[in-house]
Structure 1
Amino acid sequence: MGYPKDLLSSRSIIKHGLYALITPEGLVNNIIPGFENCTISILGSPRLGASFVDYIVTMHEGGKNSQGYCGEADVETFVYVLNGKVKAKAGEEEFVLEDSGYLYCPPGVKMYLENLESGDSRLFLYKQKYKPLEGKKPWTVSGHANQIEFRDYDDMHNVHIKDLLPTDIDFDMNFHILSFDPAASHPFIETHYQEHGAYLLSGEGMYNLDNEWIPVKKGDYIFMGPYVHQAAYAVGREPLAYVYSKDCNRDASLDKK
């Protein structure tokens, strides 16, 4: 990076336990055991107030995780390819994922990643503890988001959504892509039990977080905690779209956390 070229400033906003906007300019690198020739930044995490961990990963030429990622009996993982091409494995199952490709590994299944590009591949990576339900068990899921049709969101023709994982009750979370045409918005300001970690894929907008309107754009990361007000307006010339996680299919816990 070298010496600063201007006054030190940042668009990032951190409100522990409530919400966060993390912009790409301020990210620092983290060493994650098992990842070779990769640049990784931790985004959302329990230290921020999230129940999950999100990462942005740049796999350079030859980058890989040959030891496997997670695989604990109670931890599920998900990876989304922002750009590039990777070989991904869920245990012994192998997949080739290009732009918009993704892989979900259920608890107890290790995820293996290897960059197939001569340049960089960029990934959005996620893990959280699975909330078991008697008689139910999730399974490995892989696909490409650009092969899934959007459907209208809340009966609005200018806001669109797609589900990346099955909506079966076996799963305690899902990943979605939500896309707003220019000038589109949520139908109302949401206040709900669920939390989100969102990576902005395209566009610009104004996001309401805890009743503060904040400008956001492609490359930003947003953490939205439980019960925090949230809604978006899209501005600019292209859709505002983001991929995000959402906990679902489980009753509220009596634990305070």
Structure 2
Amino acid sequence: MTDRYFAPQGGLPPQTALHTGRATFNESYALIPKGCFSDIVTSLLPHWHATKAWIIARPMSGFSETFSQYVMEVAAGGGSKTPDLDPHAQSVLFVTQGALHLTIDGKPHDLVSGGYAYIPAGTDWTVATSQTATEPARFHWIRKRYVKVEGIATPEAFVTSDQDIAPTAMPDTEGRWATTRFVDPQDMRHDMHVNIVTFQPGGLIPFEETHVMEHGLYVLEGKAVYRLNRDWVEVEAGDFMWLRAYCPQACYAGGAQPFRYLLYKDVNRHADLGGVLR
């Protein structure tokens, strides 16, 4: 499964490369194409070793405000014993290449390509790669501050994989549009979902979705044409789309292989009214 999911390899384009690209940032969405994932736009994180991160989404006033998303690359012998300094942050990890050793409250888990972990806020966890690893571990790390609700329990940690969960077909789509759901949509303990959406070639979203949920969409496989607000944009494996609430969106899949993306959305909570009651 090593080569199934696209993962950035870093580096830097040659001096002979054309400057023109597809990167876009406007009032409704951002598109970060795979060609933007060079080494010069990576970040280093506190208490992480032999690690670099592409921070592709972060809360921004007036845009998307609920989550951050990192593409992580951890070299042999790297990792962290204190990966997140925010006690209110919950996390999802999704491995795209290599192998990652994860502990959650002292319990060990070994994740390979397709591996998925949910880590609740306030959990003690660590990540590491083998000293003898022949390739870095590459994975997505999605973070969101957990919104507690009185009378509803907080969710527990779990580890699974893309390969272990059968996709659920969307109604009336003849199986051309399906979602791999890692959390039961009826489980009100969860205030975010990170799923994998799959379109078979020719499959489509047949209307412009316009809704309160913010999205991060990282294309794992295939290609498509995506409707983002007023624009049609071509996307392919390795591209990232970042959508604010109510950005109209639709797509149709092209090419010879399925179009798949990792999808973040905020769910199951009232809209935050902000401000201070007097």
TM-score relative to the length of structure 2: 0.86
Give the aligned partner of residue 80 of structure 1.
94
The offset of 1:211, in angstroms, is: 2.4
1:2 to partner: Cα distance: 6.7
> Do structure 1's residue 134 and structure 2's residue 134 form an aligned pair?
no
Q: CA deviation at 1:26?
A: 1.7
Q: State the one-letter code of the partner of 1:29.
A: T
- Runs of 4 or more, structure 1, over 6 Å off, are none
Does the CA contact (< 8 Å) of 2:34 and 2:237 recur in 1?
no
Worse-superposed segment, 39-48 or 180-189: 39-48
**Aligned residue among 242, 245, 256 for 2:264:** 245
Distance in 1, matches of 2:139 and 2:91, equals 13
1:211 & 1:94 partners in 2: Cα distance?
A: 47
For residues 161-180 of structure 1, the aligned pairs below 5 Å read 161-167=179-185, 168-180=187-199
Task: Give SS of 1:25's match.
Answer: helix
Q: Counterparts of 1:66-215 in structure 2 under 5 Å?
A: 66=81, 68-70=82-84, 72-116=86-130, 117-135=133-151, 136-156=153-173, 157-167=175-185, 168-215=187-234
Deviation at 1:207, TM superposition (A): 0.6
| Amino acid in structure 2 at the alignment position of 1:9 | T
User: Unmatched 5+ residue regions in structure 1?
Assistant: none
Find the residue that maps to 1:185 and give its secondary structure.
Answer: coil
Contact 1:45 1:53 in 2 (8 A): yes
Q: Which moved more, 1:159-168 or 1:182-191?
A: 159-168
Question: Would you say the 8 A contact 1:43–1:56 is kept in 2?
Answer: yes
Could you give the per-residue CA deviations for residues 89-114 of structure 1, whole angstroms, max 9, x where no partner exists?
A: 22322211111101111110133111
Partner Cα separation in structure 1 for residue 129 and residue 167 of structure 2: 28
1:73 is paired with a residue whose SS is coil
Verify the 8 A CA contact 2:106 2:124 in the aligned structure 1.
no
Deviation of 1:47 (Å): 3.3
Which amino acid in structure 1 is aligned with residue 78 of structure 2?
Answer: G
Match of 1:39 in 2: 52
Residue identity over aligned pairs, in percent, reads 26
Equivalent position amino acid for 1:7 in 2: L
SS, match of residue 176 in structure 2: strand
- Comparing 180-189 with 43-52, greater Cα deviation is found at 43-52
The residue that corresponds to 1:19 in the other structure is: 29
Report the CA distance shift for 1:2/1:205 in structure 2 as closer, same or farther (over 3 A): closer
Q: CA RMSD in A?
A: 1.7
Structure 1 window deviating more from structure 2 (4-13 vs 207-216): it is 4-13
Give 1:62's match in structure 2, choosing from 61, 74, 77: 77
After the TM superposition, which of the residue ranges 148-157 and 189-198 deviates more from structure 2? Answer: 148-157
Q: What CA distance in whole angstroms lies between the structure 2 residues aligned with 1:108 and 1:97?
A: 21
- Distance in 2 of aligned mates of 1:245 and 1:132: 19
After superposition, the Cα gap between the structure-2 partners of 1:61 and 1:209, relative to the gap in structure 1 and judged at 3 Å, is same
Greater strand share, 1 or 2? 1
Shift of 1:255: 2.7
What is the rounded CA distance, in whole Å, between the counterparts of 1:151 and 1:31 in structure 2? 37
| SS of corresponding position for 1:69 | coil
> Please, which runs of 5 or more residues in structure 2 have no aligned partner?
1-11
Please say which of residues 208-217 and 46-55 is displaced more in the overlay.
Answer: 46-55
Q: Which residue identity does 1:23 align to in structure 2? A: P
Give the C-alpha shift of residue 61 in structure 1: 1.5
Match of 2:254 in 1: 235
CA contact (8 A) 2:33 2:238 kept: yes
Indicate if the aligned counterparts of 2:98 and 2:112 stay in contact, CA closer than 8 A.
yes
2:274 is equivalent to residue 255 of structure 1: yes
Kindly tell me the number of residue pairs found equivalent between the two proteins: 254
